[in-house]
Structure 1
């Protein structure tokens, strides 16, 4: 049940529905994880419904190790997290998914092996399961509705694993087959607009004209225009002049 890839083993403890096993496999594979272990699945193994719901992540199920007990599933692990949203009366560190997966990466970097336990759909992990863990992962959910679907919990944890190891920019600009406009192109657009606005009598009164021109230039710079944007706006101005001349 060993793997060469340094990643945590996600252990599904007594899962009740094949659909949730398959959806969990898909959630894991979305974020680059493939080490699944399944403890005593209610409907046996292999499970056709799990394969159907995996939807492209069948390799996770193909590699999944199926065992009879939690103790067997975590036998080769040096640190174990248990996911649960209920108080257990057990003295253990309680961490967020973000913190847990950052710790998991640190443990793997030191040569350790991490497992994450996910409980069955109806009632979650039993105290006997949680007692085998080193720490508890708790998701900050609505306290009036704390129950999370098995695959959802797997997805949240897998996302945090991925996020802890990949630099994700908080914002990017997706350019659709074009580039940002150069300073000269924006300057020429500003000139064109000022020319047309001047002809329309926009810069009035004269005492405010200078401030109005500066405000317009500031607006063009703030918009981060693409070359396609600049061409479109030039076209708008030209068409407005043609329409006026035809009238």
Structure 2
């Protein structure tokens, strides 16, 4: 089985360089690096696209290829998804971004080239463009405001393509501050003992026949909490202050 090749992103008649640059940034966020432009309105290269791409995403623009027609841009493509809310009068499979990219990952793993086609900002893909695609992708958005800009649409598709390769948790920003270090089990046990002792002094565990159940419930509560060391210190301080008695004169 061949190594999966990420989809090609085809922007059909894009109108603003800023949107092309923003799309390049969205692509690189999820490892998509091959952009093809079909008849960009303001020509190519476009300095506004470079400015918006901001740094590393400029590499996507540096390798971007320009074509006169969508047919030429799709010459080596085996399966293409047209992103549109239109074209339903054409008989084609209709996907969400998630189902489309799940299918695309399987095709790419088999060595097939996949393309994601996006239309011009103002009106989107026309039916002649959609007719060249294998399937349609429609984003299930708020029907009262279904508008997505070009970069948002690219970002959604890129995210769904790369989601299985993304880390399960956000990457840590660096060493955690001392207060964010998780409390150890012994620290939680000592905290539970401290509260239990002070609550017993305050006759919290009443009536006597229910005291053992109340103690067990409280101990279980402490063990469930994802406490940090700073949290433990705060709880110790709280119970000390609550039970403090001023000295008598």
TM-score when scaled to structure 2?
Answer: 0.87
The answer to whether the aligner puts 1:124 opposite 2:148 as a matched pair is: no
C-alpha distance after superposition, 1:145-199 (max 9, x if no partner): 32321111111101101114446369x9x97545433333322211111111122
- The 5 A counterparts of 1:197-212 are 197-212=199-214
Q: Which whole-Å deviations, capped at 9, do the CAs of 1:39-59 have from their partners, x for residues lacking one?
A: 111111111211121123111
Query: What's the CA shift for 1:5?
Result: 7.8
Which residue of the partner structure matches residue 14 of structure 2?
A: 15
Ranges in structure 2 where 5+ consecutive residues have no aligned partner: none
Can you give the 5+ residue segments of structure 1 that lack an aligned partner in the other structure? Answer: none
Tell me which of 177, 196, 199 is aligned to 2:198.
196
1:6 corresponds in structure 2 to 5
Q: CA deviation at 1:34?
A: 1.3
1:75 aligned partner: 75
Select between 217-226 and 159-168 the one with higher mean Cα deviation. 159-168
Which SS does the other structure have where 1:85 is aligned? coil
Residue 45, structure 1, aligned to residue 47, structure 2: no
Distance 2:115 2:60 in 1: 16
1:135 and 1:5 mapped to 2: Cα distance?
20
Equivalence map 1:150-169=2 (5 Å): 150-166=150-166, 168=168
* Residue-by-residue CA offset, 1:103-162 (whole Å, 9 max, x unaligned): 111111111111110000111111111111111111112233323211111111011011
* Aligned pairs for 1:1-247 within 5 A: 6-56=5-55, 57-166=57-166, 168=168, 177=178, 178-241=180-243, 243-246=244-247
Q: Aligned equivalents of 1:77 and 1:164: distance in 2? A: 23
Q: Which runs of 4+ in 1 moved over 6 A?
A: none
Partners of 1:144 and 1:181 in 2: CA distance = 48
* Superposition TM-score, scaled by structure 1 size: 0.88
Quote the Cα distance in structure 1 between the aligned partners of 2:163 and 2:198: 50
More off after superposition, 175-184 vs 29-38: 175-184
| Pair 106,43 (structure 1): closer, same or farther in 2 beyond 3 Å | same
Is the alpha carbon distance of 1:230 and 1:144 closer, same or farther for their aligned partners in structure 2, counting shifts above 3 Å?
closer
CA distance in 1, matches of 2:62, 2:222: 55
Residue-pair matches, total:
241
1:55-107 CA-to-partner distances (Å, cap 9, x unmatched) read 23111111111111111111111111111101342111111111111111111
